[in-house]
Chain A
Amino acid sequence: MNAFFRKNLLSAATLIVILIFFIAAAQGMNSQDFVITFLRGLSVGAVTFLVASGFSLIFGLLDVLNLAHGTLFMIGAYIGWTVFVRPDTFADLLTPFALILSGFALRDMYPLLSARVRLGLRMRRILPWALIIVSVLLLGLILPRYPIAGWNLDNYAESPVTYSFMASQGTPLPPPTATFDQISPALAIGGLLLASLFGSFGLFLFDQSVQRSPRLSWRSYAGFVVLLLVGLIAFIFNSALTAFLLGLNANWLFFIAVIVATLSGAGLGALMEATLIRPLYSRPIYQLMLTIGLSAIGVQIVQAVWGRPEFVMPKPTLFNGSGASCPATSFSSWWQGNCSTILLLGGRVRTYNEIFIPLIGLLVLVAVWILLQRTRLGMIIRAGVQDREMVEALGINVRRVFTMVFALGVGLATLGGALAAPSMGLSNAMGESFLLNALIALAIGGLTSYPGAALGSLLVGLIQQFIIKYGQIGISIPFTSIVLKPTPPIVPASTVLLMVIILLIMPNGLLGKKE
C-alpha cells in the first residue's frame, strides 16, 4: 500500500490539486447552478469519452492517429438522424449499402484470386485502377437511378431542417416515394454487386504487404452471403420495412437509429482499415495525410448530402414530455410524464442531455472495460498495445484484431455522434470540435490509457462547462470588488491550458505509462 502511494505520488498530488480547484470553483455558485453545470460537464465529458476512447484504442494498438475520427463521429450523428427522422430513406439505402459492402467481405478469398491472375507487370499495375474505375462508373450510373426517397436541399420545404422541425413537432411530413428511373431493378442490383466485387478486388490489389497462405473456410464466405441476403431481403420487403419503421414508437426508432449508427460506424471503420490504412502501416506520415484527407472528404460529403444549415434531431418521446406533471420531481414522476426536465437539488436538469447521455457514457465505459479485461480479444488488445511483434510470434493473427479494433473505435465514435445529435444538434463543425476535445482529453489522461481517456474526457467536459457558467455569473476575486467574467473564447483555451500544465508536470498524462 505504502509503495503504491509512493509510486503514484505525482498522480495523486495532481488529482488533489484539480480537486481543490474544483471545490474552489463550486464556492462561487449556488447549489442548483453547481448541479446543472456539473451534469452538463458530465454530458460533454461522456460524448468526448466516446470519441477519445475509440481514438486511443486505435492509436494504442495500431499506432494510427486517426484524424478522421471527429468526422466519423459527425457522420454517426447524421446517420442516426436519418434513421430516426427518415426511416423510409434508411430502408431504401439498406439494399445498395449491403450490396456495395458485400464484395469486401470476400477479402480472404482475394489472395488466391490474385495469384491466379497471370498478367504482365504493366497490366498488373493497371489492373487495380481499371477495376476501381469500372466500379466507380457502375456506381455513378446506377446510384442516381436507384430509388432512394430523400430530401431536397434546394427546396427549404423539403430540406432536412424542415423534416427535423416537423418531426420534433410530432407531425412528420409524408415521405415521398421513389421508383426506378430508366433502369430495371435486376440490372441495378446486379450492377451494384459487380461494382462491389470489382472495387473491393481493385482496392485489395493495391495492398502490397499481403502475404500468402490464408486458410479458407466457410467463414470466408459467410459475411458475403449474409450481406447479400440482407440486401435482397431489404429490397423485396422494402415497403413492408418502411411501413413498419414509420409505425414504430419513437423510443424504439431512436434505439434502432443509435444501433444502426454504431454498426455502420463499425462497418465503415473495418472497411477503412482493410482498404486504406492497411497498405500504409509502414508509412506513418502517409497515414496522417490519409486520415486528414478522409476527414475533409467526409465533411464535404456531409455538406453535399445533408446540407450546411444546422438542425437538431428530435429527442425520443421518453425524454420529450412537457405535460402537467413536468418538470418531474422524482424519477417515478419522470417515468410517468416522460418529462424533458427534472428537478435535482433545486436545479432544473434536462433528462436526455444531462442524465441519459452520462449514463450511456458510463455504460460504455464499463462495457469496454469488461471487454478489455475479461475477454481473450481484450487480452490480445492489451498485449498488442505493448508489443505487436510478440503477439504475432505467439501465432495470433494480429491483423484481424486490428480490423476489429478499428471497427470498435469508429463504432464508439458514431455511437457518440448519434447520442449527441438530439442534445447538441447536427452541424458540419461538430466533428472538428469533438476531435479537438478528445485529443486534449487524451493528452491529459495519457494517450493509450483507457482509464486515462475516461478521466481526461471528464476533466475536459467539466472545465469547459464551468468556464461557460462562470462566463455568465462571474468570479468575484477575494478582497476586491472585481468580478471576473471569462469570455467565451477562453472555453477552448482553458482546456488547452489545463493540458499544458498537466503535460509540464507529467509528460505522459495523468494515467499514461512511460514510453
Chain B
Amino acid sequence: MQTILDVQGIHTFIGQYHILQGVDVRVPAGSITALLGRNGAGKTTTLKSILGLTPPRQGKVIFNGREVQGMRSFDIAAMGIGFVPEHRAIFRDLSVEENLKLAERAKDDYARKRDFIFDLFPDLKRLIALPGTSLSGGQQQMLAIARSLVADNSLLLIDEPSEGLAPVIIEHMMSAIRQLSTQSTIVLVEQNFLVASKLAEYYIIIEEGRSVQSGMMKDLVNDKAAIHRFLGAA
C-alpha cells in the first residue's frame, strides 16, 4: 500500500525541552491511523511537527513523496493537509460561515464543498450566521472538522476529537470521521482508547517522545498487556 505520510526519526524541541526524541510515523494512504500514548507523551507535538508549527530539528517528514521539514507551515498546509487542533481553535470573532470561508485555498472551495459539509454536519447549517463563541463544545468540534474539509486536503490531522464531548455526540463524530476516511487519509490523536480502537485500522504508540510500537489496531485490541503498559487502560 502507498505511504502518504512518512515521518522518520524526528526530534523536536520546544524552548529548552527535548519533546520528541525520535518519532517514526508511517501512514498508508486511505487509512485511519491513531497515535496513542499517555498525556504528555508527545502526540500533539508530533502532529504540529508534521505541519511545521513546531519545526523538527532532526529527521524527515515526507508528505506525498516530498520532504517538507523546514518549509514554512502555511506552505506545508497548502500542499493538502487539514488540521483539527486539540482545543478546536474556532475563531471567536468570526461567524461560523466566516470560519469556513477562511479555510478556502481556491476562491470557490466553500461554494463547492458546502453541501457535502452540511450533509455531514446538518447542525452547522442553522448556526451559519452565529459567532464562533456561541457554539457548544460539540458544535465547535464539528466546525473544526468541517473547516479542515473546505480546502482539498488529502490528509487530515485530528487531535482529540472526543475530548469533553457527551457520548451521543461522540457517536456522531465517529460516524463523521469514518465517512471522511473514504476520501482522505486521517491521522488521529485520541486519549479515549475505546473510540480510537473502533475508528482506526493502524496505531502508533508514543511514549516519552519516542514511537515505541506500531501495527494493526485489531492486534493491539487483543494485546491486553501492551494496552495496560503503554496506555494505562484497564
Contacts and interface: CB of A to CB of B under 8 A. Distances in A.
A289 interface: no
B38 to A, nearest CB: 24
Contact of B93 (A212, A213, A382, A399): A382
Contacts of A393: 51, 53, 73-74, 77, 83, 85
Interface string A141-163: 00000000000000000000000
Interface string B103-119: 10100000000000000
Interface string B55-83: 10000000000000011111101100001
B71 A395 contact: no
A395 B151 contact: yes
A513 B103 CA distance: 24
Contacts of B89: 387, 389-390
A399 B93 CA distance: 20
Interface string B159-191: 000000000000000000000000000000000
Interface stretch (B94-102, B197-205, B206-214): B94-102
Nearest to A396: B74
Contacts of B224: none
A394 B77 contact: yes
A212 B52 CA distance: 12
B100 to A, nearest CB: 11
A379 B89 CA distance: 15
A385 B102 CA distance: 14
A213 B102 contact: no
A500 interface: no
Contacts of B83: 390, 393-394
B91 A392 contact: no
Interface in A334-386: 376, 379-380, 382-383, 385-386
Contacts, number: 69
Interface in A1-46: none
Contact of B71 (A213, A387, A394): A213
Nearest to A372: B93
A239 interface: no
B147 interface: yes
B125 interface: no
B91 A395 contact: no
B77 A395 contact: yes
Contact of B102 (A383, A397, A399): A383
B61 to A, nearest CB: 13
Interface string B13-56: 00000000000000000000000000000000000000111010
Given A379-B94, A398-B74, A513-B92, 18 more contacts: A211-B72, A212-B70, A212-B71, A379-B98, A380-B102, A382-B91, A383-B102, A385-B93, A386-B92, A390-B91, A392-B73, A393-B53, A394-B102, A394-B151, A395-B78, A396-B74, A397-B72, A397-B74
16 contacts: A211-B71, A212-B71, A213-B71, A213-B72, A213-B75, A383-B91, A383-B94, A387-B89, A392-B53, A392-B74, A394-B151, A395-B75, A395-B105, A395-B151, A396-B102, A513-B92
What are the 5 tightest A-B residue pairs by CB atom distance, in nearest-first order? A395-B78, A395-B77, A390-B89, A393-B83, A383-B91
Interface of B: 51-53, 55, 70-75, 77-78, 83, 85, 89, 91-94, 98, 101-103, 105, 147, 151
